[in-house]
Structures are given as structure tokens and as C-alpha cells.
Amino acid sequence: MNSQLTAYVSLICTSGVLNLYLCAYVYRNRYRYKHVAHFFMFYTASIAIYCFAAAFGLLSTTLVQIKFWTVIQYVGMPISTPLGLLFVMKYLGIPVSRKKVLSLLVVPLLTIIMVATNDWHHLHYRVYEIDSVLGAPYIRQEIGIWYAIHGIYIFSCMLAAFLLAVSYWKETAKVYRPQLFSLILGQLIPMLTAFLYLLGFTPKGVDPVPMVLWLSSLLYLWSISSSRLFTLMPIAKDTIFNSINDGVMVLDESIQLIEFNQTCKEYFPQLNRTLIGKDFHEIWYDLSGNEFPLELDFISHTQEVQLTADDKKRIYQIRTSPLVQVKNSTGLIVIFTDITELKSLQNKLQYQAYYDELTQIYNRRAFMEYCEKDFAAAEQNAIAFTVMLMDIDHFKKVNDTYGHHLGDQLLKHIVSICKNQLMENQVFARYGGEEFALYLKGYTAAEAEVLGNRLRKSLEGQILHSSEGNIPATFSMGIAETIHGTMETVDQLLNKADKALYSAKQAGRNQVHIYMEDEVKVS
């Protein structure tokens, strides 16, 4: 592949990646943007399909491959222009009905069918073959009647979107004009490129439009990140302000309340229009009974706050952000996001990640994480550190004889006994199927041996009584103590304990063995 073709593919892939990122970013934040985001997501997704298919087309070496990727291009490209028009219309507050959406998509859908079946009728391309001079992937084409219809249609959509955006320029406040300017250029760049392509002023045999779409994407990205595209719109901002899912309060430079939206009213039913113009600190104290937790110093801050209303606890993420208003006066936006369900889900997922589902004690992952941390601290401060591995003797026989449901009961029975003998700072975990682990910070191997025998005897003396009969259980245990100054790791220490456990098993089970260099101490 020559350097020129490499440059083409790189530019097209850049356009595809940027549009895919925009689609993913807006999707992630769609709850803030309402319906305008849906049009933008489909718009950027269709452009991404168009760009990536164009890149693969330029990497093709046969006419069959080129035709295939051309069809894929036409899955995205014809739809992207009416979607861009719909996005601009929605942005400007122009009503967009389902009937209008469907009518705008009729021609693009027919174009997809025409391109996919072109070899049968040649209505889109009369001739579509590899250029005899340049070779693959460059194409020589002669357009058919449907190509002309399709071209007029997509050009009309881009022109309509461009003219609509331009027509709203004068009535748009200066603070919102950067957004509108990005939309205008975002439509103008591909439109001019397509026009130059049709006139033959672009490289022969290659569609240049996807090569320039990265410029439009950067404009949209800049507008989203710097001028609050979607969150503050010149025409539809009032509607969006009152329909977003976040609660929003707007404060002036004197920290007085000047506006709040409907969601904020739902979060705080005591809010009403009579509070407009009052000091925000007083309002917040009346709403929550506490001081406002963030500094209102015209710098962005974020904090989570738990509030109780009607005996229900809700968790909000509160963000403050400076706002430069139309007359260049500075204010503040205070945004409230209800994250109660999210925090509940996070806590649940965190619990599932660190706790064994059956026994409700730490799992292996949690044990290793905490063990690594405390092991490093013990090593640094030269404190004794010991690990103990415990295995239930003949547990497989219990499962085979009584069934797994009683095996599970036995596991919970054993955990209950051990927990009654252990202190809170002794980290106890289910290490495997019938294997448990315990680490003891500040304990020598000898001290751990005493605890191990106490656990072993306690388990031996408490038989599980079940509907299937009495089920006894015993532990075999292996203990290893770290040797300071040897650069030993947790894995090495656990390996020593495992060897001691194996020794206990080999010696007849129901006993505690301590690992020592070149030998294992039997208890």
C-alpha cells in the first residue's frame, strides 16, 4: 500500500474513531440530554459505519471486496445526512414527529437496497469497476439515475441543515453562538467536500468525504466539552432545562437563587417561586437542616451528600460550576444527581466482589487484597505476620454421601464456629471449595498454632445435626510465618502454608503443622 493510500486510510479511520467516541460519550450521558442526544448518537454511529467501511474498502484488493464494503458504506452514509438534519432541527427546537422522521428515511433506505442489488439493475452505478490505470482499490464508475436522485437528496439534507442553522444566528444569544457555529461548520465541511467530489476536484477514484469528517467531529467534540452543546441550547434550552433528569439550581454572583428546574422541585418539594432572590445558604438550611457542604467560590466542586426526606434516605451527587451569563456577570450552577440506586448497586456489586455468596465471609480475592496490604505494613514495621490455610477433612465424602445441599450446610456451620472464635482484626476467608484462609498480623507461628488448635478442637466438638443424621467435621491446618528481611512475597508465604497443610493431611488429618525451613513442625 503506497503512502498516499495510507494517508487516506489514516484520515478516514480518524474520522470513524472520533464519531464512534462521540456516539459512546453522548450515549453514556444521554440521561442529561434527553431526545436530542438520540438523534446525535444515530447520526455519529451512521457516520462511523460509513468511515470504517470506506477504510476497509481502500484496503481491499478485489472488486468483490470493494463492492461488499461499498454496500456497508451505504448502510451508514445515506442515513447520516437526514439524521444530521433531524439533529439540527431538534437542537433548534423545531418539532420532529415520527412521521417526519420516517419520511426523511425513505430515500436512504431505498438507496441501501439499490446499492446492494446494483448488479441486477445498474440503476445506481451503470459502471463500477477497478480503475484500469490506478488499479485496486481505485474505482472507475459511471453513475446511474438513482445515484443522481440519491446525490440530490443527501446534498439537499446537508444544505437544509446548514441553512436552518444559519437562519437562527441572529436570534441566538452570543453565549450560545459557538455551539451554533460548530453545527454550521459541521454541515458545511462535508457538503463542500461532496460538491468538489462531484465536480472532479478531488483525488480520482476515492470518496474524499470520510477523510474530512474528522474536522466536523472535532468541532462537535469541542462544542460538547467547552460550550455545553446539548445542555444549553439557544432555542430549546428552557424545555430541556425543565425536563433533564438532574436537579439544577442557578445562583447569581451574590449567591442568591435565580432559577431552579422541575426535577429540583421534585427532589425538594419545599422549593417554590417565592424563594427566588433569597440567599442560597438560608434556602439550603431550610431544605436539609445542614450547612451546604461545598464552597460556593466560583470553582467547580463535587461531593456526595445523604439527605433524609419523609423517612427515606437519598444520596445525591452535588456539583457546582461557574456560569458566565449573557451579560458577562458570573453565577453558579448547582447540579443535583440522584445516585441512590447507583450507590446501592455499587455497594451490592462490591459486596459480591469481596464476599463468598454461600458463607458470607471474605472470598479469595478480598483475602489476597487485604493480605498484601497488611503484609507490606508488617514487613515495613518488622511486625510478626502469619498465614494459616485450613482444609475440611474428607469433605468430598460428605457431598457424595449426603448431597451438596448438606455440604453447603456444613460449610456454613464451620464458618459460624470459626467466626465465634476469631476477633475482628483476624481476616478469615473462604479460599477455595472446602479450603479456608486466615492471616494474623502481629501473631507468631507459635501463637497461630494455639489459635489453630482451638479452632480445630471447637470444630471437632460441634457436630452438625441435620435431617440426614449427625455430620462430624475436622480441620487440617498449615501455618507459615514470614521471615523479615528476606524479600518474601505473600504468594511464597501461602505456598509454605500449603506445604504445611499437605503435611498435616499426609500425617493423618485433624492436626496443625507449622512450616519450617527443611522440616515441618507437627502439632
Any idea which architecture 245-343 has in CATH? 2-Layer Sandwich (3.30)
| Structure confidence by residue, pLDDT tens digits, 502-511 | 999 999 999 9
Task: Decide if pLDDT at 228 tops 80.
Answer: no
* Rounded mean pLDDT, 90-112: 87
Q: What's the DSSP call for residue 106?
A: H
* Rounded mean pLDDT, 493-521: 88
Question: Given CA atoms 102, 103, 105, 107 in this order, what sign does their dihedral have?
Answer: positive
| Structure confidence by residue, pLDDT tens digits, 175-200 | 667 778 888 888 888 888 888 877 77
CATH number listed for the domain at residues 3-235: 1.20.1070.10
* Rounded mean pLDDT, 342-371: 88
* Rounded mean pLDDT, 138-151: 90
Question: Which residues fall within 8 angstroms of residue 269, CB to CB, at 6 or more apart?
Answer: 309
How far is the C-alpha of 124 from the C-alpha of 143, rounded, in Å? 6
pLDDT of residue 182: 85
- Dihedral class, residue 245 (left if φ above 0, else alpha if ψ from -120 to 50, else beta): alpha
Task: Decide if pLDDT at 237 tops 90.
Answer: no
CB 278 within 8 A of CB 257: yes
* Rounded mean pLDDT, 344-371: 89
Domain boundaries, the chain: 3-235, 245-343, 355-522
- What's the full length of the chain, in residues? 523
Residue 278's pLDDT band (cuts 50, 70, 90)? confident
pLDDT of residue 262: 83
- Provide the mean pLDDT of the chain: 85
Helix then strand then coil, % of the chain, to nearest 5 = 55, 20, 25
How far is the C-alpha of 91 from the C-alpha of 102, rounded, in Å? 19
Residue 133's pLDDT band (cuts 50, 70, 90)? confident
Adjacent-strand bridge partners of 513? 478, 522
pLDDT of residue 326: 43
Question: Which residues fall within 8 angstroms of residue 232, CB to CB, at 6 or more apart?
Answer: 175, 176, 179
Task: Decide if pLDDT at 226 tops 80.
Answer: no
Cβ count within 10 A of residue 498: 19
| Structure confidence by residue, pLDDT tens digits, 301-328 | 888 888 876 667 888 889 988 876 544 5
Share above pLDDT 90 across residues of the chain, in percent, rounded to a whole number: 39
51-65, 325-339, 379-393: the lowest-pLDDT one = 325-339
CATH class of the domain whose range is 355-522:
alpha beta
Residue 227's pLDDT band (cuts 50, 70, 90)? low
Name the residue with cell 445542555.
231
Quote the Cα angle for 444-445-449, to 5°. Answer: 120
Q: Which stretches within 122-253 are classed as H helix?
A: 145-167, 177-199, 209-226, 237-241
Adjacent-strand bridge partners of 427? 439
Question: Given CA atoms 242, 184, 212, 139 in this order, what sign does their dihedral have?
Answer: positive
